[in-house]
Structure 1
Amino acid sequence: MPYTLSSFTRTASLMLMAGVLCLQPAQAALVKIGVFSPEGFATGMQRWQPSADYLGQQIPGHRFQVLPYQNLGELEDDARRGKFDFVLTHPASFVQLEQQTGLIRLLTRRQRDGARQYAHAAVVIFTRADNRSIQEPADLARTPFVTTTAQDYSSWQLVRLEMERLGQDLEHALSGIKFAGHSEAVLDAVMRGEYPAGAMAARDFDRFLNQGRISLPAVKILEASETPGFPFRYTGRLYPQWPLGVLPDTPVELRQAVEQSLLTLPEGHAALEAGHYAGWQPADNYHAVRPLLSKSLSRHVVERQLNVANLWLEQHRQSLLITLVLTLLVWLGVRLFSPPQRPSRS
């Protein structure tokens, strides 16, 4: 068949179109990062989307999207449903998801306070200096207590860990717990004598000292500790900072690329400024957080299984009833209309 001009033109056009398509970048794969954001959706986006954009710049062919959750339960439910590739949440939440979904710890976030950097969290449990009835955490038994919020890792969650470490049963140790919402309210409630003891994040307590809101002679830190490399006084012991976790179904290559990109995030980068953090380091050991969750985790799993079972029964109640009725009718029909058995002849 002769190779005509028209066939040549058509072939050239197809080759040109193929070349253009090859030059066009493939559609970027969407990577979702679930983030616990107690401050709300808008603040979560402002803090963490710049870090996600940095990852998109470092890892070709991928677009990273932050999904902030103010409700911790909703974040954990969606993580169990596999709606994310990565999850950034506080350690108490992480160890639950670790056991329930196989979440893998990838990195630990480093915090900053001015020029100081640290990779641990700690709580301050304190009273007024003139309170002689409370000298150590064990004296908190049957004592009214004030703290920030139930989901605050660096406050109430660490109080629970400290009480667990001391062998105290929280359900009977404190006579009443007030969640004041923020550290300023906790400080005012204790210093005015409304509550004999309270707790807040060590960084917040240090900030109030530097601001002159309180002075060390006026307060008493229970089981006070100091550690080189950690810039604040605190109660008890140090615990790991927030981890970045990865769901087990996330490709290993993507996991490694994210890890390497965040470990080499340049100091002073805009993502660090927006997120108010210092950077990342290899994942810490979160074993110290797990003992607190063993009982509550089992109860949570059982309650969730019961809720799923109840929901399934509610959704299929009508079909189950119809099936039961039809089964009974068939059984009665067989019994009524089947011929009687003749006695066997011996």
Structure 2
Amino acid sequence: MYFSISFKILMYLIIFSVPNIVLSFNDENSSNIANIPKVSSDKPLIKIGVLSKRSVPITIARWSGLASYLGERIDSHNFVIVPLSFDSVDTMVDKEKIDFLLANPGMFVNLSFKYKLFAIATLKRKILGKGYTDFGSVIFARSDSNSINHFQSLIDADIAAVSEHSFGGWIAALREMNDQNIDVDSFHSLSFLGSHDAVVQAIMNKTFDIGIVRTDTLERMAEEKLIDLNSIKIIKVTNLNEINFPFLISSRLYPEWPLASLSHMSSTIAEQVSAALLTMQSNSVAATQAKIIGWTVPKNYREIDHALSQLKLGYYKDIGNYSFMDVIEKYWKYMIAVLIIMVSIIVVGIYILSLNKKLKASEISLREKATHDPLTGLANRVLFYELARNYLFMATREKQISMVLFLDLDKFKLVNDTFGHDAGDKLLIDVAERLSDCLRSSDILARIGGDEFLIMLTNVASIPDFSLVMNRIVDSVARPFISENGDELNIGCSIGASHFPEQGDNLQRLIKQADIALYQAKADGRGRFINYQEENPHR
């Protein structure tokens, strides 16, 4: 096994040590080569697979800047773009020939079931100067097709779509047809042409009656002077007229493409890539080439899952359509072969599994110790600084306001001296639980030592909202605690607060200001919160 892995690594080093390449794969997994900025051969190579929804040259031109951007932000690795056809994506993910995947959300959701992909960011597509995180399908025909005016016109028509795997170029429209009780079998013909451009050109050339592409395709091609929008008409569903979307559309909206990390990719690299994407500026070369304004946190792709489930596509295709006996009848030879192999390696497998579990447990334990408080399980100072700095990057770009709270327990030393350190430790655990109950999942809470805690309240609409939270925290900690021996423990807390961005955008400075305000809260009698002010802190 180790020889096989080493051989694979050697082959990858040989293949990818050649500079100035972008790899692309057609349906037969052959490769083409195109120039990109020269990469250093002594760094590990990370391959980003990108679905070519239009053509390979367009994909390369559009996304090569992303590889360069990530290589600059993450100096330990080189990055390369791997354009993928619709039919090659599954194979490339299955064989782990790519490390990240940028594809339509239908592919992402389906592959997530099979290969445990997870989204790390959602792109904000730039269309006519603005950013959008949703898309859908457009069902269209030539404007001079007088007999094509509504969904029923699909019946007995020659239909051109992009691919059975294309969400915008087929699946989103198919769901609307399903809701309108229009069966695919009622078409005169259905052809998948492989790219959005090919579908549009086929309709304009009168090769087919009706075409299906993703939203913004028609506007983009019109902007590129490839088509005239006046020569096209759209088939809409009547109950979608109230959708607030500025482009031609025939379906409901779905979240934009995610960048997903494959399961074999380390979480450290995935986190670094995510942080780099979330801080990408809209005027950067990478964003300009990709025709996006940046990236946002991963959106909720549940609606995509609903569509696949309703249409019984992908992972849902065979659910409920076969019995266990059907499986045995069809695959009994393979099942016997697998059983023989499993019996022959089961002892070795158990031993290896046991070792892996121990290694994983050790890795998790070490990671937890490095980033979490061992007593309360909260984030420690190191993790708080990392999370808070990442949030401030995003908050600056999104123009969000937040607050840093420095919290210190009142009378905690008295509890330790009177009831012992075990009671004090139990009290800290209970305090951590109460603080967590007072906060949202998006807020950041850490114990930084002793009876001191740091909190970052994120994306709060106004200063009064902060005050409500701090009042809730003070009141919650002031309620009596019960020790394991049944003793009633009465403590409180004092809080110092500083505001972002009003009082600065440097995390260290915000914490220092909150510490100064905390000192004033203690001096004013404890059990209260103080907002930092340059001269005289006030409640």
- Give the TM-score normalised by the residue count of structure 1: 0.67
- Partner of 1:124: helix, strand, or coil? strand
**Alignment partner of 1:45 out of 54, 60, 81:** 60
Q: Give the deviation of 1:246 after TM superposition.
A: 0.8
CA distance in 2, matches of 1:109, 1:300: 31
Whether the 8 Å contact between 1:27 and 1:61 is mirrored in structure 2 is no
| Percent pairwise identity | 23
CA distance in 2, matches of 1:220, 1:28: 50
- 1:218-244 deviation line (CA, Å, top 9, x unaligned): 84532263544x321311311122111
Matched, 1:120 2:138: no
* Unpaired runs of at least 5, structure 2: 1-39, 322-326, 336-539
- 1:303-328 deviation line (CA, Å, top 9, x unaligned): xx99xx89x89xxxxxxxxxxxxxxx
Whether the 8 Å contact between 1:116 and 1:231 is mirrored in structure 2 is no
Which residue matches 2:287? 272
Q: How does 1:80-159 map to 2 (within 5 A)?
A: 80-126=94-140, 128=143, 131=146, 134-135=149-150, 137=151, 139-140=152-153, 142-150=155-163, 152-159=166-173
CA distance in 2, matches of 1:124, 1:81: 33
- 1:111-158 deviation line (CA, Å, top 9, x unaligned): 1122122111122224558756753x3x25633143342254322232
CA distance in 1, matches of 2:230, 2:257: 30
CA distance in 2, matches of 1:53, 1:122: 30
Matched, 1:175 2:175: no
Which residue matches 1:233? 248
- Partner of 2:315: helix, strand, or coil? helix
Output the amino acid matched with 1:186.
I
Alpha-carbon distance change, 168 to 179 in structure 1, aligned in 2, over 3 angstroms: same
Alpha-carbon distance change, 220 to 243 in structure 1, aligned in 2, over 3 angstroms: closer
Alpha-carbon distance change, 166 to 266 in structure 1, aligned in 2, over 3 angstroms: same
Which residue matches 2:50? 35
Which residue matches 1:185? 202
- Partner of 2:281: helix, strand, or coil? coil
- 1:274-310 deviation line (CA, Å, top 9, x unaligned): 22222211112222223336444355899xx99xx89
Which residue matches 1:200? 213
CA distance in 2, matches of 1:208, 1:215: 13
CA distance in 2, matches of 1:182, 1:53: 32
CA distance in 2, matches of 1:179, 1:284: 29
Q: Give the deviation of 1:35 after TM superposition.
A: 1.6
Whether the 8 Å contact between 1:225 and 1:236 is mirrored in structure 2 is no
Whether the 8 Å contact between 1:226 and 1:234 is mirrored in structure 2 is no
Segments ≥4 residues shifted beyond 6 Å: 208-212
CA distance in 2, matches of 1:207, 1:266: 22
Which residue matches 2:308? 292
Alpha-carbon distance change, 179 to 27 in structure 1, aligned in 2, over 3 angstroms: closer
CA distance in 2, matches of 1:52, 1:262: 11
Whether the 8 Å contact between 1:148 and 1:186 is mirrored in structure 2 is no
Pick 1 or 2: higher relative contact order, CA cutoff 8 A, min separation 6.
Answer: 1
**Range with greater deviation from structure 2 (290-299 or 234-243):** 290-299
Whether the 8 Å contact between 1:272 and 1:278 is mirrored in structure 2 is yes
CA distance in 2, matches of 1:38, 1:167: 28
Q: How does 1:11-22 map to 2 (within 5 A)?
A: none
Output the amino acid matched with 1:162.
E
Whether the 8 Å contact between 1:226 and 1:233 is mirrored in structure 2 is no
CA distance in 1, matches of 2:41, 2:204: 55
Q: Give the deviation of 1:102 after TM superposition.
A: 0.6
Whether the 8 Å contact between 2:282 and 2:288 is mirrored in structure 1 is no
Matched, 1:282 2:297: yes
- Partner of 2:98: helix, strand, or coil? coil
CA distance in 1, matches of 2:204, 2:55: 24
Alpha-carbon distance change, 165 to 287 in structure 1, aligned in 2, over 3 angstroms: farther
**Alignment partner of 1:221 out of 228, 235, 245:** 235
Whether the 8 Å contact between 2:86 and 2:166 is mirrored in structure 1 is no
Which residue matches 1:68? 83
Q: Give the deviation of 1:168 after TM superposition.
A: 4.3
- Give the TM-score normalised by the residue count of structure 2: 0.45
Alpha-carbon distance change, 205 to 44 in structure 1, aligned in 2, over 3 angstroms: closer
CA distance in 2, matches of 1:126, 1:26: 48
Output the amino acid matched with 1:80.
D
CA distance in 2, matches of 1:87, 1:38: 14
Which residue matches 1:331? none
Alpha-carbon distance change, 179 to 80 in structure 1, aligned in 2, over 3 angstroms: closer
Alpha-carbon distance change, 47 to 209 in structure 1, aligned in 2, over 3 angstroms: closer
Output the amino acid matched with 2:269.
L
